[in-house]
């Protein structure tokens, strides 16, 4: 039996594909909610920092996803940005959700935002979906099965030198008050690479590294819902995702470095160079 045939009958893969179906269906429903609010004049509230925004569409999109998961999987655990943790059965799969990644863009009517849904089984991300409804992009991955954009396989870029690399990054909401705000790292990379973009959605940053549009991405002070799905998509497309020391990524520690693999060591040295000179 070849490995593809084995996967088809492998019950773990069958279960993951069902989880993926649910994630895609609920991301699509949340995406409709977000599209209904795009470009409307919105009441925008701020959260912990005065640059950290939330709208009623963040909350409504999250409700659609959480209610859908509760109906399908009443025993599963859920961690979602707006509503926090909803306990389930001990040891049950855990869903990690950002109903609107890129709220600042959304609030300004800019179509670069996404819905991010990941499912962890035994603490490992098995399934990830990042949907950018206004762009018509649906990124998806199942562990061990590759990554897709709108159903077609994707892969990371082949860029081998920082000189010709296009990178993406983001900045934390406490950047006005905290010196750990990624500005020093931004300057260091800016001197070394072809270009850097700041899109405003971490989930899309990771997915676009997966699709080979960006060669690498780094950011700090992220939350698990920003990166859980995008990390799997990037890894399944052949990318490498670690912390800023090159060690295993911890979804709860905030630091992310993603690359096409070829650039990983050079990106690590730039980050470590900044760290030691602070
Ligand atoms: C934010 C976006 C942004 C990143 C921030 C995140 P939100 O998520 O992913 O790109 O730089 O750190 O908090 O607040 O729009 O869900
Ligand atoms: Ca987010
Ligand atoms: Ca969000």
Answer yes or no: is pLDDT of 44 > 80.
Answer: no
pLDDT at 258: 98
If asked whether residues 130 and 91 sit together in one domain, one would say yes
Task: Identify the pLDDT of residue 125.
Answer: 98
Mean pLDDT for the chain overall: 93
How distant is the alpha carbon of residue 140 from its chain centre? 11
Which one of 153, 177, 210 terminates a domain?
Answer: 153
Ligand 1 pocket, residue 201 CB under 6 Å: yes
If asked whether residues 63 and 166 sit together in one domain, one would say no
Place 187 in a pLDDT band, splitting at 50, 70 and 90. very high
**Which pLDDT belongs to residue 276?**
58
Tell how far the Cα of 11 is from the centroid of ligand 3, in angstroms: 33
Domain shared by 147 and 189, yes or no:
no
**Per-residue pLDDT tens over the stretch 243-252:** 999 999 999 9
Residue 52's pLDDT band (cuts 50, 70, 90) = confident
Q: Provide the domain count of the chain.
A: 2
Q: How far is the CA of 212 from the centre of ligand 2 (A)?
A: 22
Of ligand 1's listed atoms, the one at least distance from the Cα of 81 is 16
CATH code for position 234: 3.40.190.80
Specify whether 140 is located in the same domain as 225.
Answer: no
Is the same domain home to 118 and 170? no
Q: What is the CA radius of gyration of the chain?
A: 18
Instruction: Render 10-47 in DSSP notation, one character per residue.
Output: -HHHHHHHHHHHHHHHHHHHHHHHHHHHTTS----EE-
Q: Are residues 218 and 239 in the same domain?
A: yes
- By most ligand atoms within 8 Å of CB, the mutation choice from 62, 220, 226 for ligand 1 is 226
Return the ligand number nearest the Cα of 226. 2
Does 167 lie in the same domain as 142?
no
Q: What average pLDDT score do residues 171-188 get?
A: 90
Average pLDDT over residues 172-198: 93
Q: Could you give the residue ranges of the DSSP H alpha helices within 90-155?
A: 103-107
Residue 120 sits in the same domain as residue 11:
yes
Q: How many CA atoms lie within 13 A of 197 on its CB side?
A: 17
Query: What CATH number corresponds to the domain at position 122?
Result: 3.30.540.10
Please indicate, yes or no, whether residues 89 and 218 belong to a single structural domain of this protein: no
Which of the listed residues 153, 176, 192 is the one where a domain comes to its end? 153
Q: What is the pLDDT of residue 109?
A: 94
Is the same domain home to 15 and 147? Answer: yes
Q: Which of 99, 123, 153 is the last residue of a domain?
A: 153
Domain that holds residue 140: 3-153
Q: Residue 50 above 90 pLDDT?
A: no
Burial class (CB in 10 A: 0-12, 13-18, 19+), 84: exposed
Q: Is the pLDDT of residue 101 over 80?
A: yes
At 47 the pLDDT is: 75
Residue 107 confidence (pLDDT): 92
Q: Are residues 123 and 234 in the same domain?
A: no
Q: In terms of domains, do 127 and 171 share one?
A: no
Tell me which of 34-48, 102-116, 119-133, 263-277 is least confident. Answer: 34-48
């Amino acid at each position: 039996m070849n490995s593809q045939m084995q996967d088809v009958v492998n019950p773990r893969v069958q279960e993951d594909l069902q989880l993926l179906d649910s994630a895609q269906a609920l991301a699509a429903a949340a995406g409709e909610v977000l599209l209904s609010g795009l470009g409307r004049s919105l009441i925008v509230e701020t959260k912990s920092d005065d640059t950290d925004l939330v709208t009623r569409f963040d909350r409504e999109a999250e409700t659609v996803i959480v209610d859908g998961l509760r109906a399908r999987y009443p025993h599963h655990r859920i961690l979602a940005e707006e509503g926090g943790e909803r306990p389930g059965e001990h040891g049950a799969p855990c869903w990690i959700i950002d109903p609107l990644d890129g709220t600042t863009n959304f609030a300004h009517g800019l179509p670069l935002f996404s819905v991010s849904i990941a499912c962890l089984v035994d603490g490992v991300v098995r399934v990830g979906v990042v949907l950018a409804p206004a762009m018509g992009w649906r990124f998806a991955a199942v562990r061990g099965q590759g990554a897709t954009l709108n159903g077609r396989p994707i892969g990371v870029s082949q860029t081998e030198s920082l000189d010709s690399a296009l990178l993406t990054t983001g900045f934390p909401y406490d950047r006005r008050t905290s010196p750990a705000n990624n500005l020093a790292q931004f300057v260091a990379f800016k001197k070394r690479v072809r270009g850097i973009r700041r899109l405003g959605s971490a989930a899309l940053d990771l997915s676009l590294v997966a699709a080979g549009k960006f060669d690498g991405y780094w950011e700090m002070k992220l939350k698990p819902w920003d990166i859980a799905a995008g990390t799997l998509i990037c890894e399944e497309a052949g990318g490498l995702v670690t912390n800023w020391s090159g060690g295993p990524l911890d979804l709860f520690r905030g630091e992310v470095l993603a690359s096409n693999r070829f650039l990983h060591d050079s990106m690590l040295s730039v980050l470590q160079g900044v760290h030691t000179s602070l």
